[in-house]
Amino acid sequence: MFPVIGIVVLLVLVFGGFALTGGNLGPVMHALPHEMLIIGGAAIGALIIGNSGAELKSLAGGVGKVFKGPKYNKDDYLSCILLVSSLMKMLRTDGPVAVEPHIEDPKNSTIFQQYPKLLDDETLIHLICDTLRLVVVSSGTLDPHAVEDVMDNALKNHHHHAMKPAEGLQNLADALPALGIVAAVLGVVKTMGSIDKPPEVLGGMIGSALVGTFLGVLLAYGFVGPFATRARSVIESDAAIYQTVKQLIIASLHGHPQPLVIEAARSGVAHDLQPSFAEVFDGMRAR
């Protein structure tokens, strides 16, 4: 909702402010489709040249994140803590053999099925299952620090790829002012070809050319740049749940008391998404 409100405010105040100060919107509106065609076409072409099909799809997904916002809420973080805690409790009390069926086939696991939203996140499920598989096959003899190194590497790799949409949007924002100049230069070239026209005609043509520069700067700093910032924020927010998984597993492998394990998981969650200690403790006692 906020991105839509922001777009409306931006358009109303920019074009409304121009009109209120005596500007004539007619020439701007007349030139806008043609300048947008040149700038937009150049931007799309540059994106196709510089990205693979998968990266373009990811870029579109990044734009979607701007409007959808973060994926996970407070209840999801509580569910994540309860899910991993259940698996770690089973590992500790019943042994690796009891956990193995759940991590080898999570879609048919009675534990994972209790959390369908988390089950749809392949990255989260792989992080849990791949890590616990290491513990299972090693019969619990792994050094927790070594497990933490493996998880850190997996998270670093995921973060690198997850940030690609935000990076692509930022690269586009950086290029748009220059593409606006391209459109403006083409307008000037067109104007120079009509140098014998009356001053009022030339003035209109030069004004149309300058719309290209205006549009490139407006798109860069008013739209695409903020989109990149918002996409980066949403991606980072969604990634916090993976750190919660890591903290739970590592703290449990260190053999810390249950209250400390819970607090280790809660400590990395933003305050507005952080379940209370009582909510976590009550949820674990109910299972």
Distance CA 203, CA 128 (A): 65
Burial class (CB in 10 A: 0-12, 13-18, 19+), 46: middle
Q: Exposed e or buried b for every residue in 14-29, given b needs 16+ CB within 10 A?
A: eeeeeeeeeeeeebbe
Query: How does residue 140 score in pLDDT terms, banded at 50, 70 and 90?
Result: low
What is residue 286's predicted lDDT score, i.e. its pLDDT? 64
What is residue 204's predicted lDDT score, i.e. its pLDDT? 74
Cβ proximity of 164 and 55 under 8 Å: yes
What is residue 30's predicted lDDT score, i.e. its pLDDT? 84
Query: Looking at the predicted structure, is the pLDDT value of residue 203 above 80?
Result: no
The pLDDT tens digits for 207-245 are 788 888 999 999 999 999 999 999 999 999 999 999 999
83 to each of 7, 38, 78, 213, 271, how far by Cα in Å?
39, 52, 9, 53, 20
* Mean of pLDDT values over 150-170: 93
Q: What is the pTM of this model?
A: 0.84
Which of 20-29, 225-234, 259-268 is most confident? 225-234
Q: How far is CA 178 from the centre of its chain?
A: 26
Mean pLDDT of the chain: 89
Helix, strand, coil fractions of the chain, as percent rounded to 5: 85, 0, 15
